[in-house]
């Protein structure tokens, strides 16, 4: 080698002394109307994050009206007893606020972010939306039409299309989890303002809702602000809800969603697993990270950094819905895109990675790096109010204690290589994975069939 | 050891301070303390981006960014990623037209490791760079291109609109991802030469923000970076200057398999760093930012002709900035209907200017965006580098929001009148075609189209 410029080289430095950090503990309380409130002061976080959880899960949607929870959720920001839809959007933006919301299997979630100087006004608007939504006929009609327009865009997106197919494959047709969260063309078209209002009256009330408020609350009289806003929301008490049992078919098989001409194949390989109430969860988090948590995990070490088949493949576990009794479920999956000609070889390598892991297990070094990363990133990951609020809200939504995240960090640190190996190997057994491939069937079907990873069927994309 | 020049200034918002320093080899260093959380962000901006690329080598700056993660003299293979993640840090790098940035956010007690890693690759990348790394990352980048552009509907819209909005031979005409042909053609010698030319301490700014001891930090910077030689042979980038307006309307109609018709347009705007660019930012927020904007109210709420409608701003300092409009039509609505409504709204805005309430809303929204950006140590480190590299003064980052809030309704109207005109735009129209269209079209359609959501990310390519 020539022309290598010189510099003074020094040995790799050692870490300094770690400074203490702990996941923030929220203060929990209940307003007179039954609303549960979690509050958490985070110095310096001038943008306050507010999460509101409503006990309105997708399985509560009436038969044939899949999507009504989504339309209701969107309609919260389309006018109240005080403001028209346009005025409401304008007033929110005048606070410098953003309001995102979505309906999912565990319930409806609204996420407000606003500079602390305008928190009171924004909480007032949020409370109006929950307390007295207008649900005007014309706005609901517009939201329904808009939702119908979105569906073809989702179908054309390889990642979205794959997710839709995997849910359909895993769960029985009568399970809400088998069907698109935001409804189909047929069900959405049946939704009107009466259906939205009926869903709202039946499932939305302060007694079954929780608000999480995180940010720099110096000098903020939050009790007074809440009393005038979310505290003024009234509603009847409600019986606790039970979660329907979930069954899933993870018989190993391959479904190709045909997308002629696609230059890549979108992979989504998954099955159903336990939720965070199960003792195996920390070990599974650790093992899954070692398998596919980052660019240096086992999957990308081969598929990306050795073979160049992909921009990145990730393995993850995502809770779909939890119940206090531990009957909840999560989606365990591997996802990514590989170029069309290398689809067969990439899947072959992927299966080899899984088999090698099952045969030889993880190394102590892998386990150590994973723990150091998963636990070590906590202060970075929870720097913003929004990140803290989101995790606290997840805990509430999944019926976990408020100190769950701190406990998880302790458990991760105490999990050994053997436990992590066992957990990830049983999370991703090679013969119990449903493989969805969104790609050009004419090019990938034969090579995939030759791998022998399960029966192969081809379905149209639309 | 002589430590060059240090200046301290009390700068702007929330009592944040900025300390500047320059090593003898020309590396500019910016330090900002914040002890609220035990984390430290390291950000390194190299003054090189896709505008520095030459014909036939588009995508080289970004491909090179990937190679920076493939090891250096004392760091093997994926060691950079492994060591940072193993220390509880997070990291990445991105490439845009005007710069390439690399960043690590670390638990504060691991800061020294990040500095050692960045210095090792700045000073010794060529010890590790080889044909195998190049070939592997070339394949990864081609798959990145396929995943983010070629395999999604409307994925190449951004590329197409840049080709329409900038003249032939202009340094900003191609986007950082580059073309498949040029990626294929990049050689090991190209990569080596690129490193020698641009990856020198005097072509970079290093910012370190968070729970740090400034004296200790500066001593580490001096220790690890101080002996890396500077390089004086960097060529001036080609001039990106252009007349204020395009002068005529450029237009392309793309017939592809996309889910709906779309009308996209780019307008030429004032350069980043000017008051007029801030005024344009406000104008675009009022016209097409969020769900109370004029275009959203008109097209989505009232006319109900569109499923999405909005404006974004791509700030560029060495060339005119771009306003980027994206409208996806509803149902069978035809593009001319949308276009007429857009033109009407823009003309009305230019004529009447913003209302006081619209100004209040736009100010509030942009203020929150700035609070978000400066609310993390990583965001702050990136902004300090940005203002240092592009405008020569990192402290400007802390007062940027004040400058936006200072812009008046008259200035907003003025920039809209001067720039948001039909003769100052490039228009891209998508017309969907059927599945059964001739297979021959597939080769061409390898460069189909975008995800509306991805618009804001499209100015950056990322290593991870």
SS (H, E, C) A99-132: EEEEEECCEEEEEEEEEHHHHHHHHHHHHHHHHC
Report how many Cβ contacts below 8 Å link chain A to chain B.
246
Looking at CA atoms only, how far is residue B306 from chain A in angstroms? 8
Q: Give how many domains chain B has, as a whole number.
A: 2
- Who among B151, B364, B377 is closest to A93 (CB)? B364
Report the residue of chain B nearest A143, measured CA to CA. Answer: B301
Q: Are B361 and A94 a contacting pair at CB < 8 A? A: yes
Average pLDDT of the residues in A210-218: 98
My answer on whether B261 and B368 are in the same domain is yes
In a domain, B295, yes or no: yes
If we measure between CA atoms, which residue out of B179, B166, B228 comes closest to residue B202? Answer: B228
Measured distance CA(B239)–CA(A248) in Å, rounded: 61
Top-confidence residue, B77 or B450? B77
A93 touches chain B (CB under 8 A): yes
Average pLDDT of the residues in B154-175: 96
| pLDDT at B14 (0 to 100) | 58
Measured distance CA(B104)–CA(B108) in Å, rounded: 11
Measured distance CA(A193)–CA(A130) in Å, rounded: 16
| pLDDT at B275 (0 to 100) | 98
Give the model confidence (pLDDT) of B214-261 as tens digits.
Answer: 999 999 999 999 999 999 999 988 999 999 999 999 999 999 999 999
pLDDT at B447 over 70: no
pLDDT at B351 over 90: yes
In a domain, B212, yes or no: yes
Give the model confidence (pLDDT) of A314-355 as tens digits.
Answer: 999 999 999 999 899 999 999 999 999 999 999 999 999 999
In a domain, B241, yes or no: no
CB A434 within 8 Å of CB A257:
no
Measured distance CA(B229)–CA(A7) in Å, rounded: 7
| pLDDT at B434 (0 to 100) | 79
Domain boundaries defined on chain A? 27-232, 253-460
Lowest mean pLDDT among B235-244, B365-374, B419-428, B441-450: B441-450
Residues in chain A with CB shorter than 8 Å from the CB of B446 are 263
Report pTM.
Answer: 0.94
Average pLDDT of the residues in A298-312: 97
Q: Which residues of B are catalytic?
A: 65
pLDDT at A210 over 50: yes
My answer on whether B420 and B309 are in the same domain is yes
Q: Are A372 and B150 a contacting pair at CB < 8 A? A: no
Looking at CA atoms only, how far is residue A324 from chain B in angstroms? 32
Confidence at A3, pLDDT banded by 50, 70, 90: low
Residues 148-207 of A with CB under 8 A from B: 149-150, 152-153, 155-158
| pLDDT at A6 (0 to 100) | 82
| pLDDT at B16 (0 to 100) | 85
If we measure between CA atoms, which residue out of A148, A121, A122, A137 comes closest to residue A85? Answer: A137
Looking at CA atoms only, how far is residue A338 from chain B in angstroms? 7
My answer on whether B212 and B266 are in the same domain is no
Average pLDDT of the residues in A117-140: 98
Confidence at A158, pLDDT banded by 50, 70, 90: very high
| pLDDT at A362 (0 to 100) | 98
Average pLDDT of the residues in B135-148: 96
A22 touches chain B (CB under 8 A): no
My answer on whether B183 and B259 are in the same domain is no
CATH 3.30.830.10 at A253-460, yes or no: yes
Q: Between the CA of residue A173 and those of A179, A248, A456, what are the distances in Å?
A: 7, 10, 20
Confidence at A215, pLDDT banded by 50, 70, 90: very high
CATH number at residue B15: 3.30.830.10
Give the model confidence (pLDDT) of A12-38 as tens digits.
Answer: 999 999 999 999 999 999 999 999 999
pLDDT at B438 over 70: no
pLDDT at B443 over 60: no
Helix (H) or strand (E) holding B419: helix B409-419
Q: Are B229 and A7 a contacting pair at CB < 8 A? A: yes
Report the residue of chain A nearest B375, measured CA to CA. Answer: A45
Average pLDDT of the residues in A425-430: 98
B66 touches chain A (CB under 8 A): no
CB B75 within 8 Å of CB B55:
no
Give the model confidence (pLDDT) of B255-300 as tens digits.
Answer: 999 999 999 999 999 999 999 999 999 999 999 999 999 999 999 9
Helix (H) or strand (E) holding B311: strand B306-314
Residue found by looking up tokens 């060591």 in the block: B83
My answer on whether B186 and B298 are in the same domain is no
Q: Parallel, antiparallel, or unpaired: how do β-strands A36-41 and B250-256 relate?
A: unpaired
Q: Which domain holds residue B143?
A: 6-225
What residues pair up with A313 in beta bridges, in sequence order? Answer: A336
B332 touches chain A (CB under 8 A): no
Confidence at A239, pLDDT banded by 50, 70, 90: confident
Instruction: Kindly state the percentage of chain B with pLDDT values over 90.
Output: 89
pLDDT at B444 over 90: no
Strand order in the sheet with A27-30: A27-30, A36-41, A210-215, A47-54, A107-115, A98-104
How many CB atoms sit inside 10 A of residue A152's CB? 18
In a domain, B245, yes or no: no
What is the greatest pairwise CA distance in chain A?
Answer: 79
Question: What's the complex ipTM?
Answer: 0.95
Top-confidence residue, B4 or A224? A224
| pLDDT at A44 (0 to 100) | 93
Measured distance CA(B224)–CA(A296) in Å, rounded: 26
pLDDT at A187 over 90: yes
The encoded tokens of residue B459 equal 């100015």
Same fold, A27-232 and A253-460: yes
My answer on whether B191 and B324 are in the same domain is no
My answer on whether B159 and B303 are in the same domain is no
If we measure between CA atoms, which residue out of B205, B117, B122 comes closest to residue B381? Answer: B205
My answer on whether B320 and B436 are in the same domain is yes
If we measure between CA atoms, which residue out of A231, A223, A230, A317 comes closest to residue A276? Answer: A317
Give the model confidence (pLDDT) of B69-100 as tens digits.
Answer: 999 999 999 999 999 999 999 999 999 999 99
B197 touches chain A (CB under 8 A): no
What residues pair up with B75 in beta bridges, in sequence order? Answer: B72
A97 touches chain B (CB under 8 A): yes
Q: Are A377 and B328 a contacting pair at CB < 8 A? A: no
My answer on whether B139 and B104 are in the same domain is yes
Residues in chain A with CB shorter than 8 Å from the CB of B150 are 263-264
Average pLDDT of the residues in B109-118: 98
What is the greatest pairwise CA distance in chain B?
Answer: 72
My answer on whether B134 and B56 are in the same domain is yes
In a domain, B230, yes or no: no
Measured distance CA(A255)–CA(A351) in Å, rounded: 16
Residues in chain A with CB shorter than 8 Å from the CB of B451 are 157
| pLDDT at B453 (0 to 100) | 25
Confidence at A5, pLDDT banded by 50, 70, 90: low
Average predicted confidence (pLDDT) for chain A? 96
Average pLDDT of the residues in B322-348: 97
Best probe of the A interface among B371, B404, B439, by most A CBs < 10 A, is: B371
My answer on whether B207 and B292 are in the same domain is no
Q: Are B143 and A15 a contacting pair at CB < 8 A? A: no
In a domain, B310, yes or no: yes
Q: Are A6 and B229 a contacting pair at CB < 8 A? A: yes
The CATH classification of domain A27-232, taken from the options 3.40.1710.10, 1.10.30.50, 2.40.100.20, 3.30.830.10: 3.30.830.10
pLDDT at B6 over 80: no
In a domain, B372, yes or no: yes
Best probe of the B interface among A153, A257, A303, A306, by most B CBs < 10 A, is: A153
| pLDDT at A238 (0 to 100) | 79
Measured distance CA(B108)–CA(B96) in Å, rounded: 28
| pLDDT at B7 (0 to 100) | 43
């Amino acid at each position: 080698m020539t022309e290598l410029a010189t510099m003074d080289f020094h040995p790799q430095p050692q870490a300094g002394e770690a400074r203490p950090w702990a996941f923030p503990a929220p203060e929990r309380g209940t307003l007179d109307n039954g609303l549960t409130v979690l509050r958490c002061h985070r110095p310096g976080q001038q943008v306050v994050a507010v999460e509101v959880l409503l006990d309105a899960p997708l399985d509560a949607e009436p038969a044939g009206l899949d999507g009504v929870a989504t339309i209701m959720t969107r309609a919260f920001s389309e006018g109240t007893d005080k403001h028209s839809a346009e005025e409401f959007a304008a007033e929110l933006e005048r606070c410098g606020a953003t309001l995102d919301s979505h309906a999912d299997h565990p319930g409806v979630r609204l996420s407000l972010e606003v500079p602390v100087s305008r928190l009171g006004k924004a909480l007032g608007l949020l409370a109006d939306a929950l307390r007295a939504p207008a649900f005007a006929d014309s706005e609901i009609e517009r939201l329904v039409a808009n939702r119908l327009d979105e569906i073809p865009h989702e179908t054309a997106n390889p990642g979205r299309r794959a997710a839709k197919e995997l849910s359909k494959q895993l769960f029985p047709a009568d399970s809400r989890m088998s069907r698109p969260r935001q409804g189909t063309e047929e069900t959405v078209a049946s939704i009107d303002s009466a259906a939205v209002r009926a869903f709202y009256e039946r499932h939305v009330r302060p007694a079954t809702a929780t608000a999480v408020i995180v940010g720099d609350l110096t000098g903020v009289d939050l009790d007074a602000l809440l009393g005038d806003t979310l505290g003024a929301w009234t509603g009847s008490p409600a019986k606790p809800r039970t979660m329907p049992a979930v069954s899933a078919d993870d018989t190993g098989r391959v479904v190709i969603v045909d997308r002629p001409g696609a230059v890549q194949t979108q992979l989504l390989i998954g099955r159903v697993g336990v939720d965070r109430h199960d003792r195996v969860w920390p070990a599974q988090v650790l093992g899954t990270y070692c398998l596919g948590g980052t660019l240096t995990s086992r999957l990308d070490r081969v598929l990306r950094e050795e073979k160049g088949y992909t921009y990145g493949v990730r393995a993850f576990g995502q809770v779909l819905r939890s119940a206090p009794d531990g009957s909840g479920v999560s989606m365990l999956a591997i996802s990514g895109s590989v170029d069309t000609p290398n689809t067969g070889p990439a899947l072959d390598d992927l299966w080899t990675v899984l088999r090698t892991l099952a045969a030889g297990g993880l190394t102590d070094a892998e386990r150590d790096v994973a723990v150091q990363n998963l636990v070590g990133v906590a202060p970075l990951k929870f720097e913003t109010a929004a990140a803290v609020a989101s995790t606290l809200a997840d805990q509430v939504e999944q019926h976990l204690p408020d100190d769950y995240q701190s406990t998880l960090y302790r458990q991760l640190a105490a999990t050994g290589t053997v436990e992590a190996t066992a957990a990830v190997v049983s999370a991703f057994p090679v013969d119990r994975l449903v493989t969805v491939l969104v790609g050009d069937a004419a090019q990938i079907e034969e090579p995939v069939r030759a791998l022998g990873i399960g029966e192969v069927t081809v379905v149209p994309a639309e | 050891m002589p430590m060059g020049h240090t200046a301290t200034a009390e700068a702007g918002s929330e009592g944040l301070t900025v300390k500047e320093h320059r090593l003898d080899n020309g590396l500019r260093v910016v330090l900002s303390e914040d002890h609220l959380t035990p984390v430290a962000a390291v950000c390194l901006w190299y003054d090189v981006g896709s505008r520095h690329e030459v014909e036939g080598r588009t995508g080289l700056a970004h491909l090179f960014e990937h190679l920076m993660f493939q090891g250096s003299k004392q760091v093997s293979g994926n060691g950079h990623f492994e060591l940072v993640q193993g220390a509880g840090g997070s990291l990445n790098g991105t490439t845009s037209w005007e710069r390439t940035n690399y960043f690590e956010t670390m638990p504060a007690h691991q800061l020294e490791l990040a500095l050692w890693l960045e210095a090792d690759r700045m000073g010794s990348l060529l010890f590790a760079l080889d044909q195998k790394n190049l070939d592997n990352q070339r394949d990864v980048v081609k798959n990145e291109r396929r995943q983010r552009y070629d395999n999604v509907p409307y994925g190449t819209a951004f590329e197409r609109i840049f080709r329409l909005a900038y003249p032939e031979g202009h340094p900003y005409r191609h986007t950082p991802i580059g073309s498949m042909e040029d990626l294929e053609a990049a050689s090991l010698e190209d990569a080596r030469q690129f490193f020698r030319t641009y990856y020198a301490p005097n072509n970079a700014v290093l910012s370190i923000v968070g729970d740090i001891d400034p004296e200790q930090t500066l001593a580490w910077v001096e220790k690890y970076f101080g002996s890396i030689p500077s390089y004086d042979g960097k060529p001036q980038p080609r001039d990106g200057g252009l007349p204020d307006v395009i002068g005529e309307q450029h237009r392309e109609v793309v017939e592809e398999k996309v889910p709906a018709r779309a009308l996209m347009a780019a307008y030429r705007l004032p350069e980043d760093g000017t008051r007029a660019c801030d005024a344009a930012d406000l104008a675009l927020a009022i016209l097409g930012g969020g769900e109370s904007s004029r275009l959203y109210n008109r097209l989505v709420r009232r006319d109900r002709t569109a499923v999405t409608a909005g404006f974004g701003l791509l700030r560029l300092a060495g060339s005119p900035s771009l306003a980027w409009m994206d409208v996806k039509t509803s149902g069978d609505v035809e593009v001319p209907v949308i276009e007429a409504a857009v033109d009407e709204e823009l003309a009305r805005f230019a004529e009447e200017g913003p209302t006081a309430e619209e100004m209040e809303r736009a100010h509030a929204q942009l203020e929150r965006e700035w609070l978000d950006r400066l609310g993390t140590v990583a965001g702050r480190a990136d902004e300090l580098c940005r203002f240092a590299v592009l405008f020569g003064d990192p402290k400007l980052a802390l007062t940027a929001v004040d400058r936006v809030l200072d812009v008046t309704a008259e200035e907003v109207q003025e920039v809209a009148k001067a720039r948001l005109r039909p003769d100052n735009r490039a228009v891209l129209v998508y017309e969907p075609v059927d599945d059964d269209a001739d297979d021959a079209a597939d080769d061409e359609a390898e460069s189909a189209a975008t995800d509306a959501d991805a618009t804001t990310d499209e100015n950056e390519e990322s290593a991870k």
